[in-house]
Amino acid sequence: MAGKRSLMPPGEDALLARLLSKVPVCAGLGPGDDCAAVPGPARGEWLLLKTDAVAEDVHFLRSHDPAQVGWKALCRPLSDIAAMGGTPSEALVTFFSPPGLDASWWVRFYEGLGRAARRFGVTVAGGEMSRQTHGIAVSIALTGRVRRSHLATRSGGKPGDLLVVTGRLGGSPGGRHLTFVPRLEEGRWLARHARPHAMMDLSDGLGSDLPRLAAACGGGFEIDRPRIPRHRGCSIEQALSDGEDYELLLAVTPARWNSLANRWRGVFPNLPLTVIGRLTATPGLPADWPSGWDHFRTPDARGKS
Amino acid sequence: MAGKRSLMPPGEDALLARLLSKVPVCAGLGPGDDCAAVPGPARGEWLLLKTDAVAEDVHFLRSHDPAQVGWKALCRPLSDIAAMGGTPSEALVTFFSPPGLDASWWVRFYEGLGRAARRFGVTVAGGEMSRQTHGIAVSIALTGRVRRSHLATRSGGKPGDLLVVTGRLGGSPGGRHLTFVPRLEEGRWLARHARPHAMMDLSDGLGSDLPRLAAACGGGFEIDRPRIPRHRGCSIEQALSDGEDYELLLAVTPARWNSLANRWRGVFPNLPLTVIGRLTATPGLPADWPSGWDHFRTPDARGKS
């Protein structure tokens, strides 16, 4: 383990584990993956359950277009449904509204949310509105469906599996964090055709999320950093640490890679699919691995660009 | 309509209707009832979906025991599952945490949430933690199950149906808003044995909620106010307007009442079941009907006692 930091879970994961020790936990696929999954609604299907949140001055600013905030609020949990290879279905929208906020803010928010809902086949099943004393906050819970044989989790990766990412990373604080497109179609295609051993979405940044995937698989990882696909003008450091990429990270068996890459180019010619490294048997982090983004560790906020 | 105010939806309901016009709405039983309901997970079953929220200085104070806040946060949506005659299953917990709040607050919150989860057969399937700049807020989304033949909605009441409430109303700001017991067992029993034409839970107070039930049924109502069962020391006005009673309100056919009341006493000897009035064919509110509690109309907050 010389030259590696111990694979300590970051603050958020440690707090979550402590909190979950206080409650009865779901018997299906529960906390710790992108979505929870329980049997149903049809035979051979799983029901996916996910909740996500955006808060003012953390994930967006009051000066941002509320329609973009509504888009983002729904697309964040959609990205998690994508990471399970699933198809989204119903949304429950809870919002907290501060004194003096005009109702038109929420109307515009719902316009953006509605645009995302129509595009990705989601219907709104209900919601709850509450006042709070300061700031806007929204939580969206989503259901989804996935065939049991297509369910992609975080934990099945094996040493030697190739680590693959969709799209390009870095630079989301410049605006992409409000306009990104969740990889639903790509996630379903990959679950069916790549049969990944593990898959997750990159919401906190590769620097935070890759160690989570490797830890869930019981091992470590090696990355060839210059191979990380980056948005124009982004450094490797940004690609690792900016967060809010909402691309997919997967672990696939090397034998599948060549045919997979060929078929991918035929179906998604405009979105790169890139090998960036591989899973290893030894838990631990590379020596100079950045921590990525963690709500409960870093004081700087996303969306403050 | 002389002597009646027009049945204008209160501010919260009007805003909700405006927001829902912007989004595709669930094809099953969607927004407007206590829970949404969609087919599944098993044949002849419906999946219930509900989200609810608590915010600091609105539903609780920082000085309250966080374990009681956790209890309340889960029991609020449980009360809605009860109103559908359902059995709860999985919870998704989203929380917003302000700077400087010690993690021990959340540990204690989860202890209370865990106590409610164990008591009512709920498991935690996932969650999300987010920072926000001020104040604590929590949203909990719940799934539940109900046999299709037992599903109780708000909208089936008919003119002449008796209006019936469980328990006693009023006085929740004195502390009961943190410690109430959701009427899950009672709701299931009533759905099976009373076959109510309509049922809902009283979260905003009879003054707000009864007009909603009557409007959903397409009519109005008459109440014999002195018959409203009240907690010790509460006025009729308090019983109508305090809110956060979390009792059940149902509309039952008069022919069922006598046998229903007898069987109820045998099964729930310590909880009153009381006829307070009846549904009528004419929409509208009684002349001096109080508005009850509405987050988006009244500046005073619950829990500030």
* Residue the block writes with tokens 């059940």: B248
Please answer yes or no on whether B141 and A93 come within 8 Å at the CB atom. no
The DSSP line for B171-186 is -GGGTHHHH----HHH
Question: Of B236, B240, B230, B165, nearest to B206 (Cα)?
Answer: B240
| 3-state SS, residue B266 | helix
Residue B23's identity, in one-letter code, is: V
CA B159 to chain centre: 23
- CATH 3.90.650.10 domain locations along chain A: 152-284
Question: Can you give the pLDDT at residue B302?
Answer: 44
Nearest chain B Cα to A302, which residue? B131
Q: Which class in CATH covers the domain with range B31-151?
A: alpha beta
Nearest chain A Cα to B116, which residue? A23
What's the pLDDT tens digit per position in A172-197? 999 999 999 999 999 999 999 999 99
Which CATH number is B152-286 given?
3.90.650.10
The DSSP symbol for B52 reads E
> How much is the pTM?
0.90
Please answer yes or no on whether A143 and B53 come within 8 Å at the CB atom. no
Across A122-135, average pLDDT: 94
Whole-angstrom Cα distance, residue A86 to residue A78? 9
* Residue the block writes with tokens 């419906």: B46
Work out the number of other CB atoms within 10 angstroms of the CB of residue A212. 20
Question: Can you give the pLDDT at residue A267?
Answer: 98
Question: Of B78, B92, B22, nearest to A123 (Cα)?
Answer: B22
Which CATH number is A31-150 given?
3.30.1330.10
Question: Can you give the pLDDT at residue A14?
Answer: 86
Which residues are within 8 A (CB) of B159 and not within 5 positions of it... i.e. 6 or more apart?
Answer: B219, B279, B280, B281
Using an 8 Å CB-CB cutoff, list chain B residues near A36.
90, 92, 125-126
At residue A39 the predicted structure's pLDDT band, cuts being 50, 70 and 90, is: confident
Question: Can you give the pLDDT at residue A12?
Answer: 75
Nearest chain A Cα to B60, which residue? A132
Across A209-215, average pLDDT: 95
Question: Of B152, B155, B183, nearest to B167 (Cα)?
Answer: B183
Question: Of B204, B208, B232, nearest to B58 (Cα)?
Answer: B204
Question: Can you give the pLDDT at residue B194?
Answer: 94
Question: Can you give the pLDDT at residue A6?
Answer: 31
Using an 8 Å CB-CB cutoff, list chain A residues near B40.
40-42, 47
Spell out, as residue ranges, where chain B has pLDDT lower than 50: 1-10, 293-305
Strand A123-131 versus strand A87-97 pairing type: parallel
Report A:34-93 residues touching B (Cβ under 8 A). 35-36, 38-42, 47, 49-59, 89-90, 92-93
pLDDT at A262 over 90: yes
pLDDT at A4 over 90: no
- CATH 3.30.1330.10 domain locations along chain B: 31-151
Question: Can you give the pLDDT at residue B291?
Answer: 63
Please answer yes or no on whether B51 and A301 come within 8 Å at the CB atom. no
Please answer yes or no on whether B54 and A130 come within 8 Å at the CB atom. yes
| Alpha helices in B181-272, H assignment, sequence order | 184-193, 206-216, 236-241, 257-267
Question: Can you give the pLDDT at residue B152?
Answer: 87
Question: Can you give the pLDDT at residue B288?
Answer: 86
Nearest chain B Cα to A46, which residue? B41
Of B12, B35, B113, the CB nearest to A23: B113
Q: Give A10 or B201, the one with higher predicted confidence.
A: B201
pLDDT at A123 over 70: yes
Answer yes or no: are the C-beta atoms of B148 and B44 closer than 8 Å.
Answer: yes
In a mutational test of the B interface, the residue from A16, A22, A84, A110 whose CB has the highest number of chain B CBs within 10 Å is A22
- CATH 3.30.1330.10 domain locations along chain A: 31-150
Report B:266-295 residues touching A (Cβ under 8 A). 295
ipTM exceeding 0.85? yes
Question: Can you give the pLDDT at residue A90?
Answer: 96
- CATH 3.90.650.10 domain locations along chain B: 152-286
Q: Where are the beta strands (DSSP E) in A193-281?
A: 198-201, 220-223, 248-252, 273-280
Residue B182's identity, in one-letter code, is: P
B87 strand-pairing partners: B145
**Six-digit token string for B227:** 């018959």
Choose which CATH entry (3.60.20.10, 3.40.50.970, 3.90.650.10, 3.10.20.30) describes domain A152-284: 3.90.650.10
